[in-house]
């Protein structure tokens, strides 16, 4: 079965960086676009970034463009999100999700919490 497991979250000071990872298993990782979605405490879902199956195309939400970088290593079945210049408003649970045709996200990880606080 499809499994997505995020890691790398934690408490970090404003202005610092983190690298989030999403380990995928149970499917052919290299054949799927992948996404990061975040959810601030008590708030709704916000799409953050996506990357094509071969890593050649990447798109970002305006709120994170220039600060976050999405990447993937298909040999390791792993998705990454480098989050830089963190702000208190970046505090959220970050989910990775598998994208399928038509634009829906059919499988999600359980999320990793990033808390930005001094």
Partner 1 sequence: SYVLTQPPSVSVAPGKTARITCGGNKIGSKSVHWYQQKPGQAPVLVIYYDNDRPSGIPERFSGSNSGNTATLTINRVEAGDEADYYCHVWDSSSDHYVFGTGTKVTVL
**CB of 41 vs partner 1, minimal distance in Å:** 12
- By C-beta, is 46 or 82 nearer to partner 1? 46
Q: Which residues bind partner 1 (CB under 8 A)?
A: 35, 37, 44-47, 50, 59, 61-62, 95, 100, 102-106, 108-111
**CB of 44 vs partner 1, minimal distance in Å:** 4
**CB of 45 vs partner 1, minimal distance in Å:** 4
- By C-beta, is 66 or 103 nearer to partner 1? 103
C-alpha torsion sign, points 47, 10, 67, 81: negative
Cβ-contact 80, 70 below 8 angstroms: yes
């Amino acid at each position: 079965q499809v499994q997505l497991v995020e890691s790398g979250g934690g408490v970090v000071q404003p202005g610092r960086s983190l690298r989030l990872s999403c380990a995928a298993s149970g499917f052919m990782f290299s054949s799927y676009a992948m996404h990061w979605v975040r959810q601030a405490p008590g708030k709704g879902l916000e799409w953050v970034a996506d990357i094509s199956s071969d890593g050649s195309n990447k798109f970002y939400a305006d709120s994170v463009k220039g600060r976050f970088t999405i990447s993937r290593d298909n040999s390791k079945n792993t998705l990454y999100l480098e989050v830089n210049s963190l702000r208190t408003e970046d505090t959220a649970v970050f989910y990775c999700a598998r994208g399928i045709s038509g634009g829906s996200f059919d499988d999600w990880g359980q999320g990793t919490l990033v808390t930005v606080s001094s």
